[in-house]
Amino acid sequence: MRVFRSIIEYREVNKPVVTIGTFDGVHLGHKQVLNQLKSVARQLKKETLVITFWPHPRQVLSKENDRPRLLNTLDIKIKLFRELGIDNLLIIPFDKEFSSQKPEQFIEQLIVSHIKASAVVIGYDHRFGKNRSGSFLFLKEKAAEFNYQVFEISAFQVGGLSVSSTKIRSALKEGKIQKANEYLGYAYSVEGIVVRGIKLGAKLKFPTANIQLSNEDILLPKDGVYVVEVILKDGRYFGMLNNGINPSIEGKGRSVEVYIFDFEEDIYNQHIQIAFHKRLRDELYFSNLNDLRSQMQQDKKDALKFIGQMMKS
């Protein structure tokens, strides 16, 4: 997959089949759009081109207290597009100046003059241009004039509900990680760097890796203890993660830390990715470390039982 990180950097693709969107989460609804994009491209014998934006438009345009937490870093989003077999990805740096473009400008200058698209595949609810005034119908109206085809994709549903990034965020905030994963079509993940902590875990015989997230805008699931998969440069491992305020440990404060099963290597300063599979429990207060250790031993038993079931299914 070729990745272009600006319009200036873009190198012409021969009349590609294009889709446009923020694609936060690259969830099952997005995958329906991308699968149709690939299908149309095969029919027309053209390459696919995804146009997306970074940062998220709502992070630029919303008031500070109304900005959404993100489901993907840009690196993970690129990785997901690559895994889905997209040929070309154009990342447009989003700012207020770009947001002021009228839909006519967006189509004429970008889609037609610059990209020279042969077809546009668009989600049922996608809006573009100033004040989100552009839509499928607007693209359709301009299709004959500018000689491109337009394909609209309806909502993808799970359990009778349409899948959206907003629903996934709500599920994560409520700790419903398995529901979020069902909407995503993969295990929700975050990434960061392993940093040094206060090493209390080692005293408890549960040495943990403290994680500094690579992007502070990424949404963490509701505070609590989770069964997770840990992706490091040398392999994948299972473990259990605590995300929260550490109420039992005075002065520690908020942290994200993971205990990796059957693992003793030094991974300080290494990149780490964490995929969430199940929420075990809320974060609890313990009056002494022995009670905390006993609970962690039970958490490990519960986690290993779930992992065993997951591996069989």
Write the CA distances from 95 to 54, 101, 107, 112, 129, integer angstroms: 9, 11, 18, 21, 12
* Helix-helix angle 165-173:177-184, to 10 degrees: 160
Whole-number pLDDT of residue 133: 86
pLDDT digits (tens, 9 = 90+) for 125-181: 788 888 888 888 899 999 999 999 999 888 778 877 789 999 999 999 999 999 999
The pairing of beta strand 255-260 with beta strand 235-244:
antiparallel
Domains located in the chain, CATH noted = 2-156 (3.40.50.620), 176-307 (2.40.30.30)
Whole-number pLDDT of residue 31: 95
Whole-number pLDDT of residue 201: 67
Residue 52 host element (H or E) = strand 48-54
Q: What pTM value is reported for the model? A: 0.91
Whole-number pLDDT of residue 228: 98
pLDDT digits (tens, 9 = 90+) for 20-47: 999 999 999 999 999 999 999 999 999 9
What phi and psi values does residue 132 have, to the nearest 5 degrees? 55, 40
- State whether residue 180 is helix, strand or coil: helix
